[in-house]
Structure 1
Amino acid sequence: MMHVEERNTTPLSLGEEKNMVIQLLLINITVFVLLFFTEVIYRMEGNPLARYYDDVLSHLTLSASFSTVLHNPWSLITSMFVHNSFWMIVSNMIWLACFGTMLQNHAGRQHILPLYLLSGIVGAVFYLLGMQFIPSFRELQSFASTTGASACIMALAVGATIVAPGYRLLPNLPIPFWIITLIFLLVNIGTHVVNSHDLTMVPALIGGGLTGLLYMQQWKKGNDLGAGFNRTLHKITHLFHPKTHLHVVK
């Protein structure tokens, strides 16, 4: 008598059978810690803060100038993982955990990373366009830049609201989820206004929000806009993984 025994090694792949929100939190926090210690090293060596910005941060943040972005195209991606203050990353990570977990629980982890990256890029494009065409922003173009995951979180917030608008974050509090999204928007804008009298990030938030709206509306219609990205990522992360072996046992 023969039977087939399936043996499979556990693959190491980004996002499979794991919590994608936790992974994004870890990536953002790791980048913040690395940049923090890099700044400390620059200061210990007697360098002015401006040199740290010129040597490191200016290549990772998203400049308001198209010409600078063309020289640093990767900043469209890196800027959404860079936070330049402790309170900024603490606030954003709390919101990311809140909205990301809610969306992940209701729609699945496979939508978190595609939506995060797509909304970050769209938010960056909206930021650049806003800096070119909004008169009060245009004069800041030569030295302005933006960082942080706010546009990505806005997409997750709007996406979560689309999926379950009446969801209660806390069962004992009769507050629908869209109210939490509105609070995030007001807090985010208010923080920028109070800390730096800056509204240039509003176009990025709009871009992120519209991305979340479109993405999850299409998902509800049965169209997965992130399917192609997930297939490509799966192939890349499984490129060197051993295939399943079938052993015939007599």
Structure 2
Amino acid sequence: MMYVEERSETPLSLGEEKNMVTQLLLVNITIFMLLFFTEIVYGIEGNPPARFKVDVLSHVLLPSTIDGLLKNPWTLFTTMFTHDSFWMITSNMIWLACFGTMLQNHAGRQRILPLYLLSGLVGAVCYLLGMQFIPAFHALQPAATMTGASASIMALAIGATVVAPNYRLLPNLPIPFWIITLIFLIVNIGSHVMNNQGITNLPALIGGGLTGFLYMQQWKKGNDLGLGFNKFIFKITHLFHPKSHLHVVK
């Protein structure tokens, strides 16, 4: 039995209920706003910024140590939706909209969420391994955390490029899509290298990018690695729907 979706090349739209990219944008922005206003409340009550980091951020951002992970194992997932600065969420959401919409238009919305979650998880594992086994990172461990959706966005960027490397975003602009991805890679990796703490996220970016590459390569060969996940989500979200309303093909 296979679940079928209707796919069309639709732009990013807040009114499109089947637009998974829009839903991811809303989740990320909503979480950022909740954290932002919580930090304001902490400040109004006279708490120092460090108190907010200890009480709140430390429970949603991925720590750099295995001991820290064992205390808050859910941070493997929450960290990919959590941004702690305005510039980080702004840049990440712009790239998410760009690459996510591109991939969604060419491969369907059911590729977006499984790839986002899987690459975010792989990126988190690569980050932890890097912090444990790269000697240059050891001195940065006490203050280091993995923040944001960068690994997932890297996967969407590479994945979209695998699917349609020569696609032209603008018909009158003779620039293939892989050039835009290359610019993104240079800017993104460069900004992390120039930041002393950000450089520790490079293993996560590499892990996310490799996940996007392998995931979409397999999809092009007819192997949908997210099929089981999508079937599970479909059943959960349609648990109370009449069976006649399910769009199912045997």
Q: TM-score normalised to the size of structure 2?
A: 0.88
* Root mean square deviation, CA, Å: 1.6
Corresponding residue for residue 30 of structure 1: 30
SS at match of 1:174: coil
Gaps of 5+ in 2: 1-15, 246-250
Higher-RCO chain (CA-CA 8 Å, sequence separation at least 6): 1
Check whether the contact 2:192–2:202 (CA below 8 A) recurs between aligned residues: no
Indicate the residue corresponding to 1:12 in structure 2.
Answer: none
Moved over 6 A (4+): none
Match of 1:73, SS? Answer: coil
**In the comparison of the two structures, how many residue pairs are matched?**
230
Matched with 1:138 is 138
Find the aligned partners of 2:141 and 2:211 in 1 and give their Cα distance: 25
| Other-structure match for 2:69 | 69
Per-residue deviation, 1:196: 4.6
- Structure-to-structure mapping, 1:117-196, within 5 angstroms: 117-196=117-196
Q: Provide the rounded CA distance (Å) in 2 between the counterparts of 1:21 and 1:198.
A: 25
CA distance in 2, matches of 1:24, 1:237: 17
1:219: which partner in 2?
Answer: 219
Aligned to 1:205: 205
Mapped partners of 1:240, 1:72: distance in 2: 33
SS in 2 for 1:165: coil
What runs of 5+ residues in structure 1 fail to find an aligned partner? 1-15, 246-250
Q: Distance in 1 between matches of 2:142 and 2:89?
A: 26
CA separation of 1:197 and 1:230: change in aligned 2, threshold 3 A: closer
Q: For 2:197 and 2:184, how far apart are their aligned partners in 1?
A: 18
Residue identity matched to 2:112: I
Q: Percent identity among equivalent residues?
A: 75
For the residues of structure 2 that align with 1:94 and 1:138, how far apart are their CA atoms? 32
Q: CA deviation at 1:179?
A: 1.5
Provide the rounded CA distance (Å) in 1 between the counterparts of 2:69 and 2:56: 15
SS at match of 1:91: helix
Q: Structure 1 residues 197, 58: closer, same or farther in 2, change over 3 A?
A: closer
TM-score relative to the length of structure 1? 0.88
Paired amino acid for 1:107: A
Deviation at 1:193, TM superposition (A): 3.9
- What does the per-residue CA deviation read over 1:43-101, in whole Å, with 9 as the maximum and x for residues that have no partner? 00001111110110001001110111111111011000011111111101110010000
Query: Against the structure 1 CA distance between its residues 106 and 126, is the aligned structure 2 distance closer, same or farther, given a 3 Å change threshold?
Result: same
